[in-house]
A and B are shown apart, each in its own frame.
Chain A
Amino acid sequence: MKLTLKIWRQAGPDAKGAMVDYPVSDVSEDMSFLEMLDVLNDKLVREGQQPIAFDHDCREGICGACSLFIDGRPHGPSRHITTCQLHMRKFKDGDVIHVEPWRAGAFPVIKDLVVDRGAFDRIQAAGGFVSVNTMGNLVDANAQPIPKLDSDKAFDAAACIGCGACVAACPNSSAMLFVAAKVSQYALLPQGRPEAKTRALNMVEQMDTEGFGNCTNIGACEIECPKDISLENIARLNREYLGAELSKE
């Protein structure tokens, strides 16, 4: 099939970018979206042009590196998959496809479609952990049973891959779903309870400091999340934070 790609090109962090048209032909429906870009890049290099920079790594939907805003939506038109799992059979001959980087002040563009998501690491470093050192002699893993429902819900939250689609989808560029997923995972497990209050306060403070927008419960993040992280987690963060804020000394 033949397609027209409209791709954001930006030479560097401070350069002015623009959408550039690239006609592509001979696209096989078995290709993944990124393989289609590989083929385009191969052509660009042979023609002496700059290939398009984009983040990607595992190409099986788990590392969270790929991050394209395709055809007006993060990770493209299909639900519950990442860009690397999107295949060209979802498109048809003659389609015009816009490809843009995540857009948020807290995710500055580095080059073309590559953005800096370091803000997520800093949020994690502010409290996204259980303060336990490496010890060979911890209590036995089975010493403390955890209700299966809590454990399953913690897993649902822990499935977050930190890709940033929630921020990209949110009209407010809010990172609440990401933060809520991490806070929820630990809040639901007994191992995470001792630090639950400081965790919620510190991670939210860091989130605000990074310049993400405020959550206004629009819900776009939940729809676009490739790992189906639920808004329930945001409600849980709201509860956790409220309790922590009211009781802090």
Chain B
Amino acid sequence: MSILDAKVPAGPIERKWSEHKDHIRLVNPANKRSIDIIVVGTGLAGASAAASLAEMGYNVKSFCYQDSSRRAHSIAAQGGINAAKNYPNDGDSVYRLFYDTLKGGDYRSREANTWRLAEVSASIIDQCVAQGVPFARDYGGLLDNRSFGGAQVSRTFYARGQTGQQLLLGAYSALMRQVGKGKVKMYDRHEMLDLVVVEGKARGIIARNLVTGELERHGAHAVLLCTGGYGNVFFLSTNAMGSNVTAAWKAHKRGAYMANPCYTQIHPTCIPVSGDHQSKLTLMSESLRNDGRIWVPKKLEDAKAIQEGKKKGSDIAEDDRDYYLERRYPSFGNLVPRDVASRAAKERCDAGFGVNRTGEAVYLDFASAIERYGKMEANVHHVENPSPEKIRELGMKVVSEKYGNLFDMYENIVGENPYVHAMKIYPAVHYTMGGLWVDYNLQSTVPGMYVLGEANFSDHGANRLGASALMQGLADGYFILPYTIADYVASDIRTGPIKTDTAEFVEAEKSVRERIDKFFNTKGSEPVDHFHKRLGKVMWEKCGMARNAKGLQEGIEEIRKIRDDFWANVRVPGKPNELNQELEKAGRVADFLELGELMCKDALNRNESCGGHFREEYQTEEGEALRDDENFAYVAAWEWTGEPGKDVMHKEELKFEALKLSQRSYK
């Protein structure tokens, strides 16, 4: 074990970033033309980095597995993006955004990075508006803000429920502008299958053309991984079907450390699983918790009756309902942070109070909101002695205006009218705070390989606040990496183009090819999804919302069994040299099967509870997460040593100078 140096610049926290920018090396415009950079992934981080680097003059090659770079999963973010603009004059500042983010992450992020994130957040909004991103505006024509995730200020900028889409399309348009100029060469339907390291430096990648199946070698002076999170290790998540860990995992195997892989965010308001055929879970915006009340029956016999379909939620009398969040957290109520809300739902369902067939759902009820709004409307419209029906009608209108699209989506998927029957929700895997370890410059432990966005171990610590993922992706891509990378590539201005016929490229391509052949030669009987679903079940049960040492040890054993079974019994049809979606999945699941074990190992190592990582052994008497700052205020960065499960841990100590550690409380 070693202690990792994050290369955080000296000086007071508010001066670190600008001092650092002032003193790192630059590359002059003429020399930028002789530097090639590979960017893998075209989400917010990837697209913004690729576009910015190309604008500066670097030659960029951009890769994505989707059929178009516009489809990266950043597009699905709904709620918004935080920025310390203080437009509503409610006392927001860089410090407050920094503080909220650090505290929300349960003090497990690097202080200097989190400060920098808050510091550049305002520039992101300026940049996006200049690009023509249609943020929501008020009647005066100025930008509108809303509060989010229980923050005490309104700092979230949004574009209806499609903020991620609009921000991504902004970055995509900037990227396409550079594609049109020839400064970015776009490789869509390409998947990175290995990182090529030459003399200790990242010098290129092996990519598979997903249409022809051809393996391609691409050389560059630096490689950026902007490949998102690995939530799909759980099979069911809110991630896109194609979201995967492969690029990051290959880099891990080539020397990049994986940090805090066990930090997973479970989002509390998703549509519950309906059956074995389920392929993914759909998120319902967190904003629903502003008006909806979460409850389960108080009596077990009522819960049983509901599970058996003999009763409906509306049959349960008000006194027999348990509004458990309001009961447990009187001051924050239904608006507690995501990790807290998720765990509370699990606790009730585990105790047998779930409200659907599988017993894994709680009610998100708008009946009282409808009544409240209805009475308000009746007053506004001077309706004398309104009947309960009239109140309902008026109230439903208001709720429909606020959440109509979400209600429609719910009805479409579930087939039940949420205005009449309380919505059923359950937590689902949503985001992974863990990822490849990077230093202050976003450089991994492989020199020349940088990691941006959700793919790195991130500025969010052990739990991410709502509307902060978009902020981080764009901060990394627009305003951090373009500066820090110069310091590294400044050494490469005389290197010349990277040759791809060297032994390292040949070896990397060969290992990729052998692995592909191995899939076809296995000639087993089970499709890839069979193993993915089994893995997901183990991960969810043993390394999900709540973990314990025994379960994690069992989990590791079970994952090993599934992995062995996979390599003995997987069936990949078709040929390698064609569009072959089963082959694509096989490669991704093979990597998940290794990552899953490391996640359990990391969770087992962390003998404390923090943010999204809840170890049942470490909780307060009231069942809240119990941190151990003395022993675990560090980043666990794992080094691959040649075999799955044999990773060795290194530490980055987390020091807090700008603020004091305290217990998170939402009571």
What residues make up the interface of A, taking CB atoms closer than 8 Å to B? 11-12, 28-32, 34-36, 38-39, 41-42, 44-46, 48-51, 53, 55-65, 78, 81, 85, 87, 89, 110-111, 114, 116-118, 120-121, 124-142, 145-148, 151-152, 154-155, 158-159, 161-162, 185-186, 189, 191-192
Contacts and interface: CB of A to CB of B under 8 A. Distances in A.
Given A111-B579, A142-B142, 18 more contacts: A30-B277, A34-B279, A35-B277, A42-B527, A51-B573, A51-B582, A55-B67, A58-B76, A65-B66, A124-B70, A129-B176, A134-B127, A134-B479, A139-B130, A142-B85, A145-B137, A158-B169, A162-B70
Q: Is the interface of A mostly helix, strand, loop or mixed?
A: loop
A36 B274 CA distance: 13
Contacts of B582: 45, 51
27 contacts: A11-B578, A28-B275, A30-B414, A42-B530, A46-B526, A58-B76, A59-B240, A59-B279, A85-B409, A85-B412, A87-B413, A114-B67, A117-B67, A121-B68, A121-B176, A128-B176, A133-B55, A134-B127, A135-B127, A138-B123, A138-B126, A138-B127, A138-B130, A148-B138, A148-B139, A151-B136, A185-B132
Contacts of B52: 133-134
A139 B278 CA distance: 47
B131 A58 contact: no
Contacts of B527: 41-42, 45-46
Contacts of A41: 527
B529 interface: yes
A87 B415 contact: yes
- Chain B residues touching A, range: 35 or more
B155 interface: no
Contacts of A133: 52, 55
Q: Output the residue of B87, B188, B241, B278 with the most chain A CB within 10 A.
A: B241
B579 A110 contact: yes
B574 interface: yes
B177 A57 contact: no
Interface string B552-593: 000000000000000000010110001101100000000000
A189 B130 CA distance: 10
**Nearest 3 interchain pairs by C-beta:** A145-B141, A125-B180, A129-B173
B579 A38 contact: no
Nearest to B133: A158
Nearest to A188: B134
A39 B131 contact: no
Contacts of B413: 32, 85, 87
Contact of A161 (B165, B414, B526, B571): B165
B315 to A, nearest CB: 23
Given A56-B241, A141-B125, A191 B131 contact: yes
Given A60-B283, A124-B173, A136 B123 contact: yes
A29 B415 contact: yes
A125 B176 contact: yes
B91 interface: no
B74 to A, nearest CB: 10
A63 B71 contact: yes
Contact of B126 (A38, A51, A89, A140): A140
A142 B143 contact: yes
Contacts of B412: 78, 81, 85, 87
B174 interface: yes
Given A58-B73, A59-B280, A134-B52, A42 B529 contact: yes
B69 interface: yes
Contacts of A161: 165
Interface string B150-181: 00000000011010111001001110110110
Contacts of B274: 28, 30
Contact of A129 (B177, B278, B478): B177
Interface in B109-145: 120, 123, 125-143
Q: Output the residue of B138, B164, B413 with the most chain A CB within 10 A.
A: B413
B348 to A, nearest CB: 24
Contacts of A121: 68-70, 176, 179, 186, 188
A237 to B, nearest CB: 16
A160 to B, nearest CB: 8
Q: Output the residue of A45, A53, A120, A139 with the most chain B CB within 10 A.
A: A45
B471 to A, nearest CB: 14
Given A117-B67, A136-B120, A189-B132, A129 B174 contact: yes
A56 B85 CA distance: 37
B132 A63 contact: no
B573 A53 contact: no
B12 interface: no
A151 B413 CA distance: 31
Contacts of A128: 173, 176
